[in-house]
Structure 1
Amino acid sequence: MYLGIDIGTSGVKALLLAEDGTIASQATAGLTVSRPYPLWSEQSPEAWWRAVEAAVAELDAGLRQKVRAIGLSGQMHGAVLLGADDRVLRPAILWNDGRSQPQCAELLRIEPRTSDITGNPVLAGFTAPKLLWVREHEPDIFSAIRTVLLPKDWVRLRLTGEKISDMSDASGTLWLDVARRSWSQAMLAACGLTEGAMPTLCEGSDVSAMLSAGVAERWGMDRVPVAGGGGDNAAGAVGLGVVDPGETFLSLGTSGVIFTVTDGYRPAPEAAVHAFAHAVPDRWHRMSVMLSAASCLDWATALMGLKDVPALLDVSLDADGGSDLIFLPYLSGERTPHGNPAAQGVFFGLTGGTGRAELARAVLEGVAMGLRDGLDALTGAGAEIGEISMAGGGSRSDVWGRIIAAALERPLVWREGGDTGPALGAARLARLAAGDGSVREVCTPPAMTAQVAPEAALVDRMRGKQDRFRALYVSLKAMWSHE
């Protein structure tokens, strides 16, 4: 057995993977996000640990005894600040926190070569601008910092006592020289840090450390190796077998990510496209990222007083086919292609005939059109993308899948375990770290369970709306604050 643990934004998922590649047991423990001020998004690391303990405890105890290795994945870009005694100094600032937009300009002023070194645009979601914000607004906390860890790597510290990160997760900090897969002294210096504040780096499929005796005893397993693991999207790719150049998947979770593998380092920061190291050696990838994807459906469900997201999907089926209603899905700002944390959600085109069905349909279409913006950023930067595998809890809807396939004008494929997200990839990385197979043997695509091809009528509808969707963003951009 191999244990995969994913530290998500809305919950922690734990999964046991059997030697034959099947999922033997899985469990989830929920998390909440704190938003004390506009643009802020924080979580308590202790809440992650409680959720990890709860999720693992729900797994089959007999199977836990057979675990040979553990893999970790997690939400990227979060800043966990530790003092000299490894005490957490403040709540973790998350990936979808937009408060550090002014510090992005400051980082570029201090180090104009930032995008050349890191291969990425300078965005408020990344870790480095967060540290500049802390230095400016919480100087006492900044002066007490001895270590900065990413969310899954703080969990690793609790598991093993070691401070280690992997290449894929570290790529999202703006402190990594992504081409060389090593910390950049220049980028650390720009934030008033040194390499001594950084975790040691390893590849995601390598052994990072051993599980501590105390945790091993409590969980009923041996002191097994813990793999380097990966950022959530890279781990998700490993779970879907997306490890070779040109292979692509779409993750529909809180955020929406289109991830495509490259055979080398291929930066395109001018398009707000991310170029990161993959969680397996000698591979890189590009990503487009929209900050609010499936989370828009959760929001709309609550707004309309519906029972759950499936109810929202059912309601959308009754929408007027001629409705011109458009929804901009920028509930937490946006990354690709706009890089604008101040962007806001909008319903445009309301009439006296607009009802819940039209609102629900507009939300589904709005997220799909946001994903199309990201796809066009990737293809505009030279990526060739054909069939797309689907992942994440939001990917399971046939209704939404048809809309997304039409908006992207690409066939979509669902695979076994796709809804387990990065936890499956984390378990596969654990298997690699245990030495039980090669990347080619372990990271194979799971069996296909469904496929959706673009439908001509829906393609025409989405094409007609996409131009208005983009024009609406341009028209409203100057009206949003912090511009």
Structure 2
Amino acid sequence: MSFLGIDLGTGSVKAAIVDEQGREQAVSSVAYALDTPHAGWAEIDVRTWWRALIDAMAGLPRDLRDDVRAIGLSGQMHGVVLTDAAGEAVRPAMLWPDSRALDLLDAWPEPQPNPVAPGMAGPLLRWIVRHEPQTARRTRWVLQPKDWLRVALGGARVTDPSDACATALASPAGVWNTALLERLDIPREWFVPLAASYAASGTLSQQAAQALGLRAGIVLATGAGDTPCAALGSGLAHDGDALLTTGTGGQIVVLANDEPAALRGLHRYRAASDHWYRMAAMQNVGIALERVRGWLSYEWADAYREAFGDAVNDVANNAANAFAADSAGNAAHATPNASSSLTFLPYLSGERTPWLNPQARGGWLGLSLEHTRGAMMRAAFEGVAFSLRAGLDAIRASGAPVSALKLAGGGSVDARWRQLLADALDVELHAVDCPNAAPRGAAILGGVACGHWRISDDLAALAPGATRVAGPRGDASLAQRYARFIDLYGRVEPWFGGTRTPRRDAR
């Protein structure tokens, strides 16, 4: 018996099969590109998703596909698919990077229970009503990406609280806000009922089964957004469990038993289980470091070497040595002296947590003739780490005392970078042995939907292994540079034309 998890991402679809113990047996992915027919638009033809899924499934071993007993779904959050009564898309899907509705956010005056972004379903649907009335007339249902896929597989027209609460059209619990929909002139009848992420919401149709090489009648779980699925797949099961993911952007997710208090700049959403989670979302992690590396004409190996020095801590391979190195004050990651007076703001594409300022921008301040490109690269690493710290501080200010983070994401492998993150964030980091957390979390939801696991009893036992890879060393000079980083952003924000007031409590 095995379970299939499908993660419908922004740039690729990934399918993973896990066994009865939750261990990954096979994974396959197929990439695709977004369409940008106009500046600021982000769309995709849903048929591209379907073709990519067929190709991804073909990459999984036939014997494993024959053994699948349930399917769970994970999907990119916030975007929206509009369909007619027959389930056919009436236009390309609009996705979360889309900014066409930026000027329509005045319908969500602050304070809001969650930050509102132009690529969320609410602003995008407001734009449709205003600018594409013919599309609105043809629309019968509005679906989140993973919900569209479930319907295409033969499942029910429902959504789960984790996706609904991130539309800017529902309460934090995920219940549709009828009064807001009326005020926006968005038809309430477009919106599907709610079901638990782990509920059974239909079965695989004969037509879809034939296309994907599966058996018809397989149970389909409702599914959840990709962030809560990744949290589930990474082993977050108890109140206070926390995860840091680093990729193009960065996210810090902290699980909570009860609804967290509202705090500006933070998201508080429903989890894929019966929990909630706080989330700090930072836009400029891998994307900023990659751009700086290109500007400075580095290969990655040289960028790490010149930014951090030649010594390489083996903490990633030997946790015991890491504890000894920390206690001995190991200086393997010593900061180049020239970089101590240099600060880099990484906000090359605006920022979400904690500033909520899409007009924020970046750059170096403090350059002198003595600075090398290695010092500039080091400052960039520090600036990105400080931006993550600002997000974590917002979470701590909301009442979550985070002292340890599970670590996931392709941008967090180098041991020197991990150590800087541990120092800057003042946390222990534990690397998760789960390279495909979102589809794994989706597969677990499938297993719950068909009765193999129980959401209340089995999650902790399904947690993947995690290795302690770095811990904070109490670097006072780094703490001073972080304080300077926060002060610098507050001083220059008006220059960017932003309308947001800087959070002076981010320290």
Give TM-score scaled by structure 2 length. 0.85
Residues 313, 199 of structure 1: CA spacing in aligned structure 2 closer, same or farther, 3 A cutoff? farther
Verify the 8 A CA contact 2:338 2:375 in the aligned structure 1. Answer: no
Q: Which residue of 1 aligns with 2:235?
A: 241
Q: 1:333 aligns with which of 330, 350, 355?
A: 350
Q: 1:184 aligns with which of 177, 189, 210?
A: 177
Q: Which residue of 1 aligns with 2:472?
A: 454
Q: Distance in 1 between matches of 2:51 and 2:152?
A: 11
Q: Which residue of 2 aligns with 1:412?
A: 429
- Residue 299 in 1 paired to residue 317 in 2? no
- Residue 372 in 1 paired to residue 389 in 2? yes
Q: Which residue of 2 aligns with 1:80?
A: 81
Residues 27, 405 of structure 1: CA spacing in aligned structure 2 closer, same or farther, 3 A cutoff? same
Q: Distance in 1 between matches of 2:194 and 2:142?
A: 13
Q: How does 1:345-360 map to 2 (within 5 A)?
A: 345-360=362-377
Instruction: Kindly provide the amino acid, as one letter, of the partner of residue 244 in structure 2.
Output: L
Q: Distance in 2 between matches of 1:334 and 1:353?
A: 31
Instruction: Kindly provide the amino acid, as one letter, of the partner of residue 2 in structure 1.
Output: F
User: Secondary structure at the residue paired with 2:194?
Assistant: strand
Shift of 1:48: 2.7
Residues 468, 92 of structure 1: CA spacing in aligned structure 2 closer, same or farther, 3 A cutoff? farther
Q: Which residue of 2 aligns with 1:53?
A: 54
Shift of 1:365: 1.9
- Residue 317 in 1 paired to residue 305 in 2? no
User: Secondary structure at the residue paired with 1:19?
Assistant: coil
Q: Which residue of 1 aligns with 2:282?
A: 290
Deviates more, 1:255-264 or 1:8-17: 8-17
User: Secondary structure at the residue paired with 1:366?
Assistant: helix
Q: Distance in 1 between matches of 2:192 and 2:161?
A: 11
Shift of 1:330: 2.3
User: Secondary structure at the residue paired with 1:396?
Assistant: coil
Q: Which residue of 2 aligns with 1:387?
A: 404
Q: Distance in 2 between matches of 1:183 and 1:259?
A: 24
- Residue 435 in 1 paired to residue 451 in 2? yes
Instruction: Kindly provide the amino acid, as one letter, of the partner of residue 437 in structure 1.
Output: W
Shift of 1:256: 1.1
Q: Distance in 2 between matches of 1:3 and 1:55?
A: 12
Verify the 8 A CA contact 1:393 1:421 in the aligned structure 2. Answer: no
Q: Which residue of 1 aligns with 2:16?
A: 15
Q: 2:212 aligns with which of 216, 219, 226?
A: 219
- Residue 424 in 1 paired to residue 440 in 2? yes
Instruction: Kindly provide the amino acid, as one letter, of the partner of residue 452 in structure 1.
Output: A
Q: How does 1:392-403 map to 2 (within 5 A)?
A: 392-403=409-420
Shift of 1:37: 5.5
Instruction: Kindly provide the amino acid, as one letter, of the partner of residue 362 in structure 1.
Output: A
Q: Distance in 2 between matches of 1:348 and 1:83?
A: 53
Shift of 1:409: 0.2
User: Secondary structure at the residue paired with 2:108?
Assistant: helix
User: Secondary structure at the residue paired with 2:153?
Assistant: helix
Deviates more, 1:1-10 or 1:404-413: 1-10
Deviates more, 1:288-297 or 1:402-411: 288-297
Q: Distance in 2 between matches of 1:139 and 1:482?
A: 32
Give the total of aligned pairs: 469
- Residue 478 in 1 paired to residue 494 in 2? yes
Greater Rg over alpha carbons, structure: 2
Deviates more, 1:270-279 or 1:342-351: 342-351
Q: Distance in 2 between matches of 1:192 and 1:87?
A: 23
Structure 1 unmatched runs, 5+: none
Shift of 1:453: 0.4
Structure 2 unmatched runs, 5+: 310-334, 500-507
- Residue 31 in 1 paired to residue 49 in 2? no
Residues 198, 321 of structure 1: CA spacing in aligned structure 2 closer, same or farther, 3 A cutoff? farther
Residues 293, 226 of structure 1: CA spacing in aligned structure 2 closer, same or farther, 3 A cutoff? farther
Give TM-score scaled by structure 1 length. 0.89
Residues 74, 253 of structure 1: CA spacing in aligned structure 2 closer, same or farther, 3 A cutoff? farther
Q: Distance in 2 between matches of 1:382 and 1:389?
A: 19
Shift of 1:355: 4.4
Percentage of pairs with the same residue: 34
Q: Which residue of 2 aligns with 1:263?
A: 257
